[in-house]
Structure 1
Amino acid sequence: MKITFYSTQPYDTLFFNRYNDSFGFELEFLETQLNVQTAPLVSSAAVVCVFVNDLVNEAVLKIFSERGVKIIALRCAGFNNVDINAAKQLGIRICRVPAYSPQAVAEHAVAMLLTLNRKTHKAYNRVREQNFSLNGLLGFDLFGKTIGVIGTGNIGKAFCRIMRGFGCSVLAFDLIANKELEAAGVQFVPLIELLNKADIISLHCPLNEQTRHLINADTTGMMKRGVMLINTSRGALIDTQAVIDALKSGQIGFLGIDVYEQEEHLFFRDLSATVIEDDTIQRLMSFPNVLVTAHQAFFTEEALTQITLTTFRNVGELLKTNNLINRQALLV
């Protein structure tokens, strides 16, 4: 059975080839991103494997249906880029990797937090230039600070536990309070209270109609002045222009983002020899108190192994039984 991969990076080829011996699929790797123009590249493949920035809308799904595609396997957890209703109507099964390594993303969020606070990225560059001055590198003790966590799924839970280990007070917001986290000392509060009290806010919720631009001009105005905001979830949780305005006014004191609203035009590519025309990302990167990484949070050996194995297992089960044991992994 043939699987065609879109948005392939060298590490995708490495990991999927490494573990394919146990499954025996025919693998075709395409570097191009999936959209209406590239969808017709699929040839004689019953399965298409896509990533976070691939566009799986109704037009793309119709092309796949005409070409005999039966399954679309997302090698990621998020699925806001997929038209679920259109897939249902066309009879195409959609599966995903609902959890791979929550620790990978949670630990990256902590790394961004610590980097922004202690300015280790700036210290590294200074020392390499033989500048051993500490001026401008002042940080603050993380111990005793109040951390606000929006979304307490697997990644949010892992982040909460790490921050409790630092001796922080952790406030969380979610639709349903997690009893296990409450027993560990995490306090679930209304969103407005979290925004009012948190020194650091980290986003770990999915992107949907209710959460799109959750961070906007109104919600940034409810935050403590000088707050640190971390986003390793989905770029569109943040209204980027509103956050830029809050950075300019000092309402937001630090911003760490591993995701970006328009990242599909930038991330996972080497653009070092080109002129980036996206004025918004250029403006963000001009702030000394902003740290941007290019959707790197998931990028660990353990996470990529789990993504690969889960994707192969999902496809194998669907081909064999047209169903999945793990119901969270099956979207259509």
Structure 2
Amino acid sequence: MRIAVFSAKKYERTILDKLNEKHGHDLVYFETPLEVGTAPLAMGFPVVSVFVNDSVDRNVLKQIATGGTKLVATRSTGFNHIDVEAAKELSIRIVRVTDYSPNSVAEFAVGLLLALNRKIPRAYNRTREGNFELDGLMGFDLVGRTVAVIGTGKIGTIFARIMAGFGCTVIGFDMYHSPEFERIGGRYVEAEGLEEADVISLHCPLTPQTHHIINARTLARMKRGALLINTSRGGLVDTEAAIDALKSGQLGGIAIDVYEQEAGLFFRDLSSTIIPDDVIQRLVSFPNVILTGHQAFFTREALETILNTTLVSISDFAAGRPLANEIDAS
């Protein structure tokens, strides 16, 4: 089957070409993201594969439907970049990657927490310049601290297990209680429990209900000086409110691998350009902020699983088999 692969990076192409040897699809790579202006490139492709920062809205879906596309395969777990209702109306089926390596994201979240708390990036930059002064680098012991996990699915539970191993008290916020989270000693609390937490880590999907779940009101409720970690979706955090909380000292620091306006920034080399996004420019100016470019998922094991799952879904579609990873719009 002929597949247009948008937002295709070199590291993906190498793995996809190898995995595709047993599937035999015709893969055509486009480094550009899928959006209104690039949708004509999908003309004649029955399958289009996209990534998290592609824009698969109603207008794009109309264009690719006209061009003959019947399946959109997103190489991600999240699918908030796709208008699922519009796809259903246009008879375009959607598949995603429901499971890859939750360890990759959970481990990265722990890495961000350690780097933020112990100010490792600042120390690294200092010693590179011959400055071995310790002033300004003090952190705190994690043992005995309270860590709040917002979203206790697979990734959140693995993160919680690691933090429990550090000797932390782990509390959870989720509509659905995970027996595994409770088995490792996690305790579910109501919203007021946020005041207990020294660290808050986000592991929930982005939905209309969770959009800006971290906002001026929730930030004001947190313990003063708490650390915030986000490796889930940028839209979970009201960035302007977070900046205000950093300026006042209410928020002790923030480490994020995602950003609510990342679509025009992440997965691109902008080092020789002027970035027009004033919000992200202000954010990275703080010494107690760590920002990475959506790399938490980026391990060999995770990427191979993501790409293999995508190819299997496409092969199932081509053969008329049931689609195990189909997104149901109903």
For Structure 1 versus Structure 2, the TM-score category normalised by the shorter chain is over 0.9
Where do residues 90-101 of structure 1 align in structure 2 (5 Å cutoff)?
90-101=90-101
Superposed CA offset, 1:122-143 (max 9, x none): 1112222222221111111011
Whichever residue aligns with residue 307 of structure 1, its letter is I
TM superposition shift of 1:323: 2.1
> Cα gap change, 1:154/1:329 in structure 2, threshold over 3 Å: closer, same or farther?
farther
Aligned to 1:198: 197
Distance in 1, Cα, partners of 2:99 & 2:155: 9
Runs of 4+ residues deviating >6 angstroms: none
> Aligned partners of 1:321 and 1:158: how far apart in 2?
36
Partner deviation per Cα, 1:133-191 (whole Å, 9 max, x = no partner): 21111111011110000001111111111111111100001111111221210101112
Residue 104 of structure 1 aligns to a residue whose secondary structure is helix
Contact in 1 for aligned 2:49/2:75 (Cα 8 Å):
yes
Q: Which amino acid aligns with 2:327?
A: L
One-letter amino acid of the counterpart of residue 330, structure 1: I
The one-letter amino acid of 2:208's match is: E
SS in 2 for 1:291: strand
Deviation, 1:322, is 4.8
CA distance in structure 2 between the aligned counterparts of 1:222 and 1:233, rounded to whole angstroms = 21
Question: CA offsets, 1:292-327, max 9 Å, x none?
Answer: 000010110001000011000111112223522x3x
Residue 120 of structure 1 is matched in structure 2 by 120
Task: Output the CA distance in 1 between the equivalents of 2:41 and 2:143.
Answer: 53
Matches within 5 A, 1:301-320: 301-320=300-319
Task: Determine the C-alpha separation between the residues in 2 that align with 1:192 and 1:312.
Answer: 44
The CA deviation string for residues 40-96 of structure 1, in whole angstroms up to 9 with x for no partner, is 111321100000011111111111111111100000000111111111111111000
1:179 aligned partner, one-letter code: P
Instruction: Confirm or deny: 8 A CA contact 1:232 1:258 kept in the other structure.
Output: yes
For residue 98 of structure 1, give the secondary structure of its aligned residue in structure 2. coil
User: SS at the partner of 1:45?
Assistant: coil
Tell me how far apart the structure 1 counterparts of residues 119 and 244 of structure 2 sit (CA, whole Å). Answer: 22
Q: CA deviation at 1:192?
A: 2.6
CA RMSD of aligned residues (A): 1.1
- 1:112 maps to a residue whose letter is L
Match of 2:281 in 1: 282
Q: Is the 8 A contact 1:98 1:329 kept in 2?
A: no
- Quote the Cα distance in structure 1 between the aligned partners of 2:56 and 2:43: 17
Aligned-partner SS, 2:106 = helix
How far apart, in 1, do the equivalents of 2:299 and 2:180 lie?
26
Matched residue of 2:78: which SS? coil
Q: Which residue of 2 aligns with 1:18?
A: 18
Give the TM-score of the pair, scaled to structure 2.
0.98
8 A contact 1:95–1:331 mirrored in 2 = no
1:1-332 counterparts in 2 under 5 A? 1-193=1-193, 195-324=194-323, 326=324, 328-331=325-328
Q: Percent identity?
A: 54
Tell whether the 8 Å contact from 1:217 to 1:243 is kept in structure 2 after alignment. Answer: yes
| TM-fit CA distance, 1:329 | 4.4
Q: Secondary structure at the match of 2:113?
A: helix
**Aligned positions, number:** 329
> Unpaired runs of 5+ in structure 2?
none
Q: Residues of 1 paired with 2:236 and 2:213: CA distance?
A: 5
Supply the distance in 1 between the matched residues of 2:124 and 2:296 (Cα, whole angstroms). Answer: 21
